[in-house]
Amino acid sequence: MSDKQLTFYALCGSQRRASTNRALLEALRTAAANGIAIEICELIGDLPIFNPDREGALTPEIVERFAEKIRLADGLIVACPEYAHGIPGGLKNALDWLVSRSEVPFKPVMIAHSSHRGELVLSQLTEVLTTMSLRVVADAFVQLPLVGKTPQAQNALLSEAKSSGLLQEALRRFAETIGRP
């Protein structure tokens, strides 16, 4: 087994700085064991609207940077709220830019969810990711009910998830699918 550090690229469906999904991704990042690095994507909100006429030689530079981050990652972590019973437009747009590219097929993906509800978005997200040939690792799914709670209650839940090992265990199961315990 390799001693190479695993790198996970995390996509947040909410672009709000105070989003609970982002808080969950930040908690996963700080809970990551030695040998695992998590980078949270900061490009989604700046991507232009997907247009197939702008693929290939006409692909915008920011899309190329985004795709390169995906290519270099050993796996992806996606945290996504449910907006109007669906995937938020920014995240769906980002995924659309990747559909016909070579960076995503068979790349493992872990889904993190910061709500006690949202079954529709989880179903849709799983469908989109599997249609894109990403390998959704169901055993690594992590869910914490942060939505609707005060910042103090959110912090308490995130701290408990870290101290109990819940977040580390989800990351360990995800790393195992890539060949690293």
| Cα–Cα distances in angstroms (integers) from residue 31 to residues 12, 17, 42, 163, 180, in the given order | 17, 19, 20, 9, 17
pLDDT band per the 50, 70, 90 thresholds, residue 168: very high
pLDDT of residue 3: 65
Q: What is the pLDDT of residues 96-137, one digit of tens each?
A: 999 999 999 999 999 999 999 889 999 999 999 999 999 999
Q: The tokens of 8 are what? A: 């996970």
Displacement of CA 12 from its chain's centroid (Å): 6
Whether the per-residue pLDDT at 51 is higher than 80: the answer is: yes
